[in-house]
Amino acid sequence: MTTTQRHLLLIFLIGAGLFFLGNAAIMITDPVESNYTLTAKEMLFSGDFISPRIYGNFWYDKPVFFYWELIAAFQAFGINEFAARFFPAVFGIIGLFMTYFFTRRIYDAKTAVLASLILGTSFEYWLISKTVITDLTLFVFFNAVLVFFYLAYTGKNKNWYYLCYLASGLAVLTKGPIGILLPGFIVTVFICLRRDFAEVCRMKPLGFVLFAIVAGSWYYPMYQLHGSAFIDTFLGVHNVLRATVSEHPQWDVWYYYTMIFFVGFFPWCFSLPMVLRKYWKKRQWPVLDQTTLFLLIWALAVNVFYQCMATKYTTYTLPGLLPIAILTARLLYSKERLVRRLVIGSVIFYAALTFLVAIPVCRDRGYSGWDTAALLRQQVQPGDLVVSYGDYRTSIVFYSGQIVYNLVPRREIAQDQPKAMSWKSKNVMPYYPLEALPEDQNVYLVLNERKYNEFPRDFQTDEWTELGVFANNRVYMRPAKMK
């Protein structure tokens, strides 16, 4: 077995063990995972693989590629937790292989295997490889753009540039315009700092046709089918609004992604203070070679760009971990024993975290509505009405297969329902007015803990029978009144 084969086997075994371990027992959580899984489930059942839909409504939150992954996994493994987490884990392993091959080309095999192991055992990468969200898929396609760019830039084979355009098309199919805009910005900054403007003419401009074909394979049919409703919601709300108006204002602080770095790059985050201390002692800036410059631009641009955006999410800066892992591998090149110990310790730690924290927390602490859904599946009959009062839980809909209405006072429905260029546009679940609960139907009420104290005020409690008490919900039933 060659050195490369040994390295790839080691990376695969560690990646597969970390990213697949326990996935079948980690329940689908709210609010993000359940939105993706329910959308893919409804697309699969409808037979429409172009238009994402949720609660029976068209849903323009994200492009289609990740839904295609989920649909393929559901068809292969059934609609379950393992299937939902299958492709995030697969792309987690692909990301490690990509890191290895790229690092080996620009440095050497030892740096490559160190970088891959450092990346794979960083907390954020591990966590997102087990989470049902788009970010690991975006990580691979986004970073592939930059990997292929640098291979083309530094090599004689300029055909690598075509793979840049292909990867950017897939990135745009995964997350939207950011899949080409931010990698393009990073390339532009690098070219400007190098003052190598002649390279632009060698970057295969015809590749934009390939990009347009790949990205347009979904965007064009969506525009033809849904017109301005798609453009206004997808580009307006989920791109422009996200960049200019914070969805979570409490996190719109200048130090947000610095904090995320130290948490997300655990246990390797000590490398940054090491570097700062090293050059502070020397009282001089490091002399940067071309490759180090490119990696630093890559890492810094991702973090600075998202820090400038109004809406901040913990996962946005994930693509910046690849160049950071490579730079950390260079820093720890002579400290193999330390790296080995940290990798082994991380594998043990994440395995324990999976079984002692992730599985029980998602199953029993109210992060998923699977238990509430199980009760509803047993009790609800055709013609019964199911309503949710309080925080709406999409996972209950996913697991139960029931239509669950968001129960609110009539005066609040108009305020909560989707509006143009507003975060309310995400409220596409079905609504039911509190004052209009029918008396000629069996009604099942999922009461969220936020509304426990209001239950006696808003309902005639002696009419309701408590069926179950769960971590965040209680389920009540009111029988239909006999005529």
Residue 282: its pLDDT value, please? 65
Q: For residue range 176-225, what is the model confidence (pLDDT) as tens digits? A: 999 999 999 999 999 999 999 999 999 999 999 999 999 999 999 999 99
CA atoms within 13 A on the CB side of 27: 25
pLDDT band at 426 (very low <50, low <70, confident <90, very high): confident
| 67 and 87 together in one domain | yes
Under DSSP, the state recorded for 481 is P
pLDDT band at 425 (very low <50, low <70, confident <90, very high): low
The pTM score is 0.94
For residue 345, pLDDT beyond 80: yes
Per the structure, the complete domain to which residue 416 belongs is given by 370-478
- Residue holding tokens 């209009």? 436
pLDDT category at 482 given cuts 50, 70, 90 is low
**Residue 483 is assigned to a structural domain of this protein:** no
Say yes or no: 342 and 424 in one domain: no
Give the pLDDT band (50/70/90) at residue 288: confident
> In this structure, are 295 and 393 located in the same domain?
no
Q: How buried is residue 289: exposed, middle or buried, by Cβ count under 10 Å (0-12/13-18/19+)?
A: exposed
Residues 461 and 321 in one domain: no
Percent of the chain's residues with pLDDT above 90: 76
Q: Examine the domain organization and report whether 346 and 406 are in the same domain.
A: no
- Residue 237's contacts (CB-CB under 8 Å, 6 or more residues apart) are 60, 420, 421, 422, 423, 425, 426
Q: Which of 334, 362, 390 is the last residue of a domain?
A: 362
Q: 323 with 431, same domain?
A: no
Verify that 274 and 408 share a domain, yes or no: no
The answer to whether position 461 is within a domain reads yes
Query: What digits encode the pLDDT tens for the residues 31-84?
Result: 899 999 999 999 999 999 999 999 998 988 899 999 999 999 999 999 999 999
Angle between helices 178-194 and 135-154 (to 10 degrees): 30
pLDDT at 461: 87
Query: Within this chain, do residues 246 and 347 fall inside the same structural domain, yes or no?
Result: yes
Residues constituting the chain: 483
pLDDT of 232 reads: 78
In a domain? residue 200: yes
Residues 271 and 393 grouped into a single domain:
no
Among 336, 362, 388, identify where a domain stops.
Answer: 362
**Is residue 309 included in any domain, yes or no?**
yes
- Whether 299 maps to a domain, the answer reads yes
Q: Which residues pair with 386 in a beta bridge?
A: 444
* Pairing outcome for strands 443-448 and 473-478: antiparallel
Q: Are residues 345 and 235 in the same domain?
A: yes
367 confidence band (pLDDT: 50, 70, 90): very high
**In this structure, are strands 473-478 and 465-469 parallel, antiparallel, or unpaired?**
antiparallel
Do the Cβ atoms of 145 and 160 come closer than 8 Å? no
Domain shared by 421 and 337, yes or no: no
The token duo for 223 is 């525009």
Q: How many domains does the chain have?
A: 2
- Closest-CA residue to 79 (of 402, 399, 404, 403): 399
Q: How far apart are CA 184 and CA 182, in angstroms?
A: 5
Residues 378 and 409 in one domain: yes
Residue 420, classed as helix, strand or coil, is coil
In a domain, 328, yes or no: yes
Q: What percent of the chain has pLDDT over 70?
A: 93
Q: What is the DSSP letter of 418?
A: -
Residue that finishes a domain, picked among 362, 380, 414: 362
Residue 274: band (very low, low, confident or very high) from pLDDT cuts 50, 70, 90: confident
CA-to-CA distance for 119 and 102, rounded, in angstroms? 13
